[in-house]
Amino acid sequence: MNLWEGCNVGHEIAERRANPRISAVFDLQGTPDDGGAVARMEASDISLSGLRCTSTADFAEMTQLAVRLQLPTDGNGQTEVVDVRAVVVRRIEIPSATQSASRYELGLFFTGLEDDSRNRIERFLSR
C-alpha cells in the first residue's frame, strides 16, 4: 500500500478511525498493570475504540492500564462507572507556565472490551 493512498488532493490525511469520536468531558482513573498509584485523568473525547485525556501522571507509550470511566448519564451530575482495559498509544507532554508540574495528553486504545462495557459505551455515545 502506498503511503499517500487514501489522502485527498490537499495532502490532508484521511480519517482512519473506524469509530467516530464525540467531544465529552468526564473524569476517569487509570492504574498501570505493573502497579503504581491510581492516576486521575480528564477525558476530552471518546469513541468505541478509545479516548483522549489529560493526566498529571506520565505513562509511557504501550503502558497497559486498568481504566475506570465515570461516564455522565444526565445533566445533574450522575455518572455510570465502566471498567475497561486500555493501552497508551500516544503521549504528549504539555508544559505549564502556571503549574509546577507538567500535564500529559494521552491517547488510550481500549483492548478487549467486554460486551457489557461495549454496550454501556455505545449507549453513552448515542445520547
pLDDT tens per residue across span 110-119: 998 999 999 9
Q: What is the mean pLDDT of residues 69-80?
A: 88
**Structural domain contains residue 3:** no
**Structural domain contains residue 13:** no
Number of domains in the chain: 1
CATH number at residue 81: 2.40.10.220
Q: What is the pTM of this model?
A: 0.81
**Structural domain contains residue 82:** yes
**Structural domain contains residue 12:** no
**Structural domain contains residue 30:** yes
Q: What is the mean pLDDT of residues 49-67?
A: 96
What's the CA gap between 40 and 56, in Å, rounded?
8
Domain residue limits at 69: 22-125
Do 121 and 46 touch, CB atoms closer than 8 A?
A: yes
**Structural domain contains residue 5:** no
**Structural domain contains residue 105:** yes
What's the CA gap between 120 and 127, in Å, rounded?
11
